[in-house]
Structure 1
Amino acid sequence: MKHLIKKASLEDLDETAELFNLYRIFYRQESNLERGKAFIKERLLNNESDIFLAIYEGKAVGFTQLYKLFHYTKLEKQWLLSDLFVHPDYRGKGLSIALIDRSKQWCEETGACGLMLETEKTNDVGNQLYPRCDFEYDGLHNYYHWWK
C-alpha cells in the first residue's frame, strides 16, 4: 500500500502545520507557519477539531480538518469538513478521495448524520471532486459572514 490515512495527534504537529500553511497560501493568505502551527496545536489540545493526514510513501502529503456542528432539522451531530488539501506534487493519486472517505467513516464512528462543506466558486478542482464523492450541491441557501 502506497498510502494510508491516519488521525493526527500532537506528534504530527510539524507536518500538519506545514500542510496547513500551504493550504492557507493556496487561499491567498500570507505564509505564517508559526501562527498556523499554534492554531493547529490549540485545536488538537482542546479537542476542537479532528484532523486526518494522508501519508504517502511514509510522508504526510495531505490533510482534512473536521469541526463538530449540530444539524437543526436532523437533530443530530454533523461534521464540517472545513479544510481539505493535498500537496500539489501528490495530486491525482486519489488522496483527496481517501481523505473524504475517511471523513465519511468518521461520521459513522461518531454517530454523526453527515458532512457539510463550502468552497469558493473558483475552486474548480473541488467543485468537480465533491459531486464525484456524492456531495449534493445546495443552491437553495445563501452563506453570509460577519467579521469583527
Structure 2
Amino acid sequence: MNYIIKKASLEDLDETAELFNLYRVFYRQESDIEKGKAFLRERFLNSESEIFLVIAEGRAVGFVQLYKLFHYTKLQKQWLLSDLFVHPDYRGKGLSVALIDRSKQWCEETGACGLMLETEKTNDIGNTLYPRCGFEYDGQHNYYYWWK
C-alpha cells in the first residue's frame, strides 16, 4: 500500500478530528466530533502535542499523537505516545508500525531519550503490536489516576 506520513497542522484539523472521534469511540467514549475538534485545535494552537497523519488513497487514515514529558532518571526529554489509531478499513497493512517508526524518528529529531505509552490490558491488538515494535513491558510500576 502506498502511503505518506506527514506532521499534522491546524490545516488538517477536520481530518484529524474525524479520526480522533473514531479513536475515542473505540475507547467507549460518546461520539462528539466538535468537542474533539476543539480539543485538537487547542493542542495545535498552543503547540502542546505533535500529531502525525498517515495518508493513503488521498485521505488521512490514521494518526499518532505525542506529548512531551521529561524522564527523571535519564534527565532528558521523552515523548508520551498518547494516541495511536488506524481506521478499521486500513488495519493489517503496517500503518500502525509506520506511525510508531515515525514517532521513534521524531525522538531522534528532537533529542528525546525515547517513547513511553500505556494501553488497556484488554487492548489485544496494542498489547501484541507494541512488543513487536521494540517496546518493553514495565511490570514494576503501578499507574494511578486522580480525576477531579
Q: Normalising by structure 1, what TM-score?
A: 0.99
* SS across alignment from 2:40: helix
Report what 1:67 is aligned to. Answer: 67
Mark the runs of 5 or more structure 2 residues left unpaired by the alignment. none
* SS across alignment from 2:53: strand
Report what 2:134 is aligned to. Answer: 134
Question: After the TM superposition, which parts of structure 1 deviate over 2 Å for at least 4 consecutive aligned residues?
Answer: none
> How far, CA to CA, are the matches of 1:33 and 1:44 in structure 2?
16
1:57 deviates by 1.6
Q: Superposed, which structure 2 residues align to 1:9-88 within 5 Å?
A: 9-88=9-88
Report what 2:2 is aligned to. Answer: 2
> How far, CA to CA, are the matches of 1:56 and 1:140 in structure 2?
39
* SS across alignment from 1:81: strand
How many residue pairs align between the two structures? Answer: 148
> How far, CA to CA, are the matches of 1:124 and 1:9 in structure 2?
31
Larger mean CA deviation between 19-28 and 54-63 belongs to: 54-63
1:73-100 per-position Cα deviation (integer Å, ceiling 9, x unaligned): 0000000000000000000110000000
Paired AA for residue 99 in structure 1 = L
> How far, CA to CA, are the matches of 1:107 and 1:57 in structure 2?
28
> How far, CA to CA, are the matches of 1:70 and 1:82 in structure 2?
14
Report what 1:117 is aligned to. Answer: 117
Query: How many percent of aligned residue pairs carry the same amino acid?
Result: 84
Mark the runs of 5 or more structure 1 residues left unpaired by the alignment. none
* SS across alignment from 2:98: helix
1:26-57 per-position Cα deviation (integer Å, ceiling 9, x unaligned): 00000000000000000011000000001112
> How far, CA to CA, are the matches of 1:35 and 1:57 in structure 2?
27
Paired AA for residue 99 in structure 2 = L
1:58 deviates by 1.4
Paired AA for residue 43 in structure 2 = R
